[in-house]
Amino acid sequence: MQNESLFNFKKVKELITEAENICLITHFNPDGDAIGSSLGLYHILVDLGKKVNVVVPNEYPDYLQWLPSNTYVLRYSLQKDITKEKINSSDLIICLDFNELKRTGILFEVLETNKSKKILIDHHPYPQDIFEVQISDTSVSSTAELVYETVLNCGFEKNINLNAATCLFAGLLTDTVAFNVNCSNPRTFEIAAKLMSFGLNKEDIHRRLFDNFSANRMKLLGYVLSEKLTILPEYCTAYMWLTAEELEKFNFKMGDSEGFVNYSLSIKGIHFAALFMEREDHIKISFRSRGNIPTNKIISTHFSGGGHKNASGGEEFKLNMEETIKKFVSILPEYSDVLKSCN
């Protein structure tokens, strides 16, 4: 974490202490950090005696459904009325793992008009300026790590229990891809160690998150790597794409493509990786990079989307797959210097 004095933890503590009904909200297509940080904080706030609801815009993959209290999570896409009512009757909303309300997708229509006080706990750049307090820090591994720091600084450490530690550890493990990326700061390991001291089973959590895929997913991975991987050595770039027809052939389920884009980055000399997937009305784009290649800037400049410097995502609504890839290849010369600079 950056200098702790930058953040108004006193105000966070005050808002949480005053609140009775608290709603925890995360982004559209929630990932392990989104669900892990939300449910982690849920367990801590429940221990503090609060009435807490965790709200997500839409359903998330099976490999996250084992987290303690997962069944209490309200999915707006499935339970619109009750979710809306819970959001609007809460006196405090804590937004986790996203930087602007639009990232909640379909839930935006509820949040846009909501007047409850809001706290942001997040590690994406450029947070929207609408929150009562922002605990926004791009230097941490994950929102889960920042939840831990926030809880510590608010004096709620004694309210962390095994369930909370399990969820936060799962969030941290997801965003660091099992301590492979985003964890150059020793503090991340200190927090991981503190969470482990609650008695969680690290191997078990790792297995549930990373070795829990369907056979179809593995076959789709094999297919995309052998048939679709395209290397552009002159730009240290690799990309892959999957059409709707191909996804259907492998009986694609949400979460199946998780991690695909990272494989390209393990090729020697590749610093920038892209994955394009055909969805109903758009092309979903995922970018990953090494070093100084600003994937978030590239995606927000040429497509729509955002994220972190080395990991971002977005959508292309107007162009089809062929045109999207053509556009992608055509913008690379613009970034030639930075693409080649991180050997």
Task: In angstroms, give the least distance from the CB of 7 to Mn ion.
Answer: 18
Choose between 143 and 312: whose C-beta lies nearer to Mn ion. 143
Task: In angstroms, give the least distance from the CB of 241 to Mn ion.
Answer: 25
Task: In angstroms, give the least distance from the CB of 31 to Mn ion.
Answer: 7
Question: 99 to 158, contacts with Mn ion by CB under 5 A?
Answer: 143
Choose between 149 and 175: whose C-beta lies nearer to Mn ion. 175
Piece of the chain touching Mn ion by CB under 5 A; list 11-19, 25-33, 46-54, 177-185: 25-33
Piece of the chain touching Mn ion by CB under 5 A; list 66-74, 96-104, 183-191, 211-219: 96-104
Choose between 90 and 136: whose C-beta lies nearer to Mn ion. 136
Q: Give the x/- contact pattern for Mn ion in 314-343, rule: CB under 5 A.
A: ------------------------------
Task: In angstroms, give the least distance from the CB of 190 to Mn ion.
Answer: 19
Question: 223 to 282, contacts with Mn ion by CB under 5 A?
Answer: none
Q: Which of 29, 97, 260, 271 binds Mn ion (CB under 5 A)?
A: 97
Distance in angstroms (rounded) separating the CA atoms of residues 44 and 58: 23
Q: Which of 22, 33, 39, 183 binds Mn ion (CB under 5 A)?
A: 33
Task: In angstroms, give the least distance from the CB of 34 to Mn ion.
Answer: 7
Q: Give the x/- contact pattern for Mn ion in 168-207, rule: CB under 5 A.
A: -------x--------------------------------
Binding site for Mn ion (CB under 5 A): 33, 97, 143, 175
